[in-house]
Amino acid sequence: MIHEALPLFPVYVVDFIGALLMVVFSLIAFFYARRLTILQPKSVLWTYMFWFSMALVALAVSRGVGHTVRFVLLYAGLPTLWKTIAPFSGGLNTITFTSVAVLTFYYSNVRDVIDRVKHDAEALYEANIRLQKAQEALRKLNQNLEQMVEERTRELRQSEKKFRGLFEGSKDMIFFCNKDHVVEDINPSGVELLGFKTRDEVVGRPFKEFFKDEKQWETFRDEICQKGHIIDSEADLKRPDGSVRNVILTISVMKDENGAIKGCEGIGKDITKMKQVTESLIQSEKMASVGQLAAGVAHEINTPLGIILGYAQLLEEECEDNKEAMESLQIIEKQTKICKRIVGDLLKFSRSSSDSEISMVDINECINEVLAVTEHSLNMDRIYINKNLSDRLPGIKGKKEKLRQVIVNLLNNAHHAIEKEGIIGIWTEYDQEADEVRVIIGDTGTGIPPEIQSKIFDPFFTTKSVGKGTGLGLSVSFGIIKDHGGYIEAQSPPKEKRFRDAGMETVMIIHLPAHPEKNETN
């Protein structure tokens, strides 16, 4: 009995439609995968999906074509042909299905790769962000560094400007030497103090060349090497013109970063004028003390001398007929008058007399008046006067007679120093900076030995032979000039080259304050 079978057409139709839809959807998937691959060609995921969709298309086409051919051959009554083709269709389906399966199995690996790539990309992104931040921070730091360098450079420039201003404007000598004690730099005041005109004349010279005494330099050098400095040490520095400057030096060594000595730096203060004033003050105080003593002694001696002179003169009247007694009394009278003259000089030394009035004095006129009287006697000994009187001197307020006396005393001293055949030089000048008139009287005599220069203004000190002087001339002159507000300075040999060039061995310099109306010329 043959049972009637159910119709398979609906199944075939559904199978055919399913295969067709499978092809359509796989093609759509392939289309989108292809577009994603074009948009992001370096994406591993989209590349994987592209190949996976291709495998699906191959599987869908293989299965759909196989089913369609089977339906067509079966309905066409060619089942034998289908049986021949079926193994090939099944093999192709198996291959495509296996490809899809293999790609499916590799999805997890692809996913891991994608995750690792993503992780690396995120890490790279974060690193890039940190790098950008670091770059920004570096940029800001660089800007700040440039600003800091600029500010530091500006500060250094200002500091250097201040130092240079102090260095150039200081009235004291500032200098720098290398480790061999050769001058490397010096300020204008130092150049002027050392007697040069330009800095180049000083730079490159050994510092010891400026010392008057080489042993003094050696002492300085040894102390600097041992202690590393010297503080407020007095030195005598010589100048090209032969003059000497008294200087207080403070010197310190300079070291490099390794502690090695690379040179020294120092400051020098010129104390020449201060030393001269100090010596004058000391001399003034000494003269004042001696003057007080001399005044007392003079008064005590003057009375008995007057009595001796009076009685001697009375005896002369009574002994006119006794020639021998008369000669003895005349000697007593003469020597007593000499003693009274010495006492008078002592009184003049101790105090200024008021026998002349204070008035405006033309110092050149005083000198010419004195020379009119003394020049003849000087010429008799072949001593000639070299006059260099300034024609524009301010007036001096003082006693004309006393100033003439001082000039006479100084000319007499010069005469005795020369004795015969020589020159006496006389200069007058106005020092505007010190606001004083100077009278310089020099001679070509034997000079004053250094050991007695500090004693020449002492009362009764003299180098003249017995009977040629009392030793009060310079003391009296010193007192007169002091009463006029000035002082006398002795230089032997002279410090200024112009006096030495004129042949002077000794100069006596009278310093007198100029009158306030100094702009009025005589």
For the residues of 56-110, what is the DSSP string, one character each?
HHHHHHHHHHHHHHHHHHHHTT-HHHHHHHHHHHHHHHHHHHHHHHHHHHTHHHH
The residue assigned the tokens 């010096």 is: 186
Do 347 and 361 share a structural domain? no
Do 486 and 388 share a structural domain? yes
- Is a pLDDT exceeding 50 seen at residue 290? yes
Closest by CA to 62, choosing from 89, 28, 35, is 89
Beta bridge partners of 206: 182
Closest by CA to 28, choosing from 58, 57, 51, is 57
Mean pLDDT of the chain: 77
Calpha distance 29→44 (Å, rounded): 17
Do 462 and 366 share a structural domain? yes
Burial class of residue 248, CB neighbours in 10 A (0-12, 13-18, 19+): middle
Do 427 and 381 share a structural domain? yes
Q: Which of 328, 351, 374 is the last residue of a domain?
A: 351
Span of 68-82, 140-154, 310-324, 400-414 with lowest mean pLDDT: 68-82
CATH code of the domain containing 340: 1.10.287
pLDDT band per the 50, 70, 90 thresholds, residue 356: low
Q: Which of 245, 270, 295 is the last residue of a domain?
A: 270
Closest by CA to 375, choosing from 365, 364, 386, is 386
More confident call, 180 vs 470: 180
Do 370 and 495 share a structural domain? yes
Calpha distance 455→293 (Å, rounded): 17
Task: Tell me the helices (H) and strands (E) count for the chain, helix number first.
Answer: 12, 12
Q: How many Cα atoms occupy the beta-carbon half-sphere of 85 within 13 Å? A: 17
Calpha distance 244→496 (Å, rounded): 9
Mean pLDDT throughout 201-206? 89
- Is a pLDDT exceeding 70 seen at residue 387? yes
- pLDDT value of residue 100: 67
- Is a pLDDT exceeding 90 seen at residue 39? no
Non-local (6+) Cβ contacts of 167 within 8 A are 174, 187
Closest by CA to 72, choosing from 59, 89, 60, 56, is 89
Do 491 and 361 share a structural domain? yes
The model's pTM:
0.40
Do 503 and 377 share a structural domain? yes
Span of 136-145, 392-401, 426-435, 454-463 with lowest mean pLDDT: 454-463
Do 462 and 431 share a structural domain? yes
- pLDDT value of residue 3: 46
Beta bridge partners of 247: 235, 270
Residue 508 within any structural domain of the chain: yes
- pLDDT value of residue 7: 60
Long-range contact pairs involving 151-155 (C-beta distance under 8 Å, separation at least 24): none
| Phi, psi (deg, nearest 5) at residue 174 | -125, 130
The DSSP symbol for 442 reads: E
More confident call, 314 vs 90: 314
- Is a pLDDT exceeding 60 seen at residue 470? no
Mean pLDDT throughout 51-75? 71
More confident call, 446 vs 74: 446
In this structure, are residues 351 and 317 in contact, taking their beta carbons and an 8 Å threshold?
no
Closest by CA to 346, choosing from 286, 291, 288, is 291
Long-range contact pairs involving 227-235 (C-beta distance under 8 Å, separation at least 24): 228/252, 228/253, 229/253, 234/271, 235/211, 235/268
Query: Which range marks the domain in which residue 509 is found?
Result: 357-513
Residue 494 within any structural domain of the chain: yes
In this structure, are residues 437 and 397 in contact, taking their beta carbons and an 8 Å threshold?
no
- pLDDT value of residue 263: 86
Beta bridge partners of 441: 426, 508
pLDDT in tens, 244-275: 888 888 888 888 888 888 888 888 888 887 77
Mean pLDDT throughout 159-176? 77
Do 320 and 259 share a structural domain? no
- pLDDT value of residue 359: 80
The DSSP symbol for 520 reads: S
Residue 422 within any structural domain of the chain: yes
Calpha distance 198→435 (Å, rounded): 28
Do 362 and 502 share a structural domain? yes
- pLDDT value of residue 90: 66
Q: Which two tokens stand for residue 73?
A: 């051959």
pLDDT above 70 as % of the chain: 75
- Is a pLDDT exceeding 90 seen at residue 172? no
Give whichever of 311-325, 342-356, 394-408 has the largest mean pLDDT: 394-408
- Is a pLDDT exceeding 70 seen at residue 177? yes
More confident call, 88 vs 181: 181
- pLDDT value of residue 425: 92
Q: Which of 105, 129, 147 is the last residue of a domain?
A: 105
More confident call, 451 vs 368: 368
Q: Which two tokens stand for residue 16?
A: 């055919």
| Total of domains in the chain | 4
- Is a pLDDT exceeding 80 seen at residue 62? no
CATH code of the domain containing 362: 3.30.565.10
pLDDT band per the 50, 70, 90 thresholds, residue 437: very high
Residue 19 within any structural domain of the chain: yes
Mean pLDDT throughout 463-487? 67
Beta bridge partners of 407: none
pLDDT band per the 50, 70, 90 thresholds, residue 74: low
What is the rounded (10 degree) CA torsion for 367, 372, 374, 375? Answer: 100
Do 254 and 279 share a structural domain? no
Mean pLDDT throughout 51-76? 71
- Is a pLDDT exceeding 90 seen at residue 426? yes
Span of 97-111, 118-132, 434-448 with lowest mean pLDDT: 97-111
- Angstrom CA distances, 157 to 146, 164, 166, 265, stand at 16, 10, 14, 21
Calpha distance 412→389 (Å, rounded): 19
Closest by CA to 414, choosing from 396, 434, 390, 440, is 440
pLDDT band per the 50, 70, 90 thresholds, residue 438: very high
Q: Which two tokens stand for residue 250?
A: 């403070």
Do 308 and 196 share a structural domain? no
- Angstrom CA distances, 484 to 147, 199, 403, stand at 67, 41, 9
Mean pLDDT throughout 226-242? 85
Residue 143 within any structural domain of the chain: no
Burial class of residue 27, CB neighbours in 10 A (0-12, 13-18, 19+): middle
Mean pLDDT throughout 442-463? 72
- Is a pLDDT exceeding 90 seen at residue 83? no
Give whichever of 213-227, 297-311, 506-520 has the largest mean pLDDT: 213-227
Residue 180 within any structural domain of the chain: yes
pLDDT band per the 50, 70, 90 thresholds, residue 472: low
Residue 460 within any structural domain of the chain: yes
Residue 124 within any structural domain of the chain: no
- Is a pLDDT exceeding 50 seen at residue 519? no
pLDDT band per the 50, 70, 90 thresholds, residue 466: very low
- pLDDT value of residue 428: 93
The CA angle 238-242-246, to the nearest 5 degrees, is 35
pLDDT band per the 50, 70, 90 thresholds, residue 110: low
In this structure, are residues 395 and 515 in contact, taking their beta carbons and an 8 Å threshold?
yes
- pLDDT value of residue 465: 47
Determine if the peptide bond prior to 493 is cis (ω within 30°): yes
In this structure, are residues 179 and 272 in contact, taking their beta carbons and an 8 Å threshold?
no
| Residue ranges in 170-213 assigned as alpha helix (H) | 188-193
Mean pLDDT throughout 436-446? 91
More confident call, 6 vs 278: 278
Non-local (6+) Cβ contacts of 293 within 8 A are none
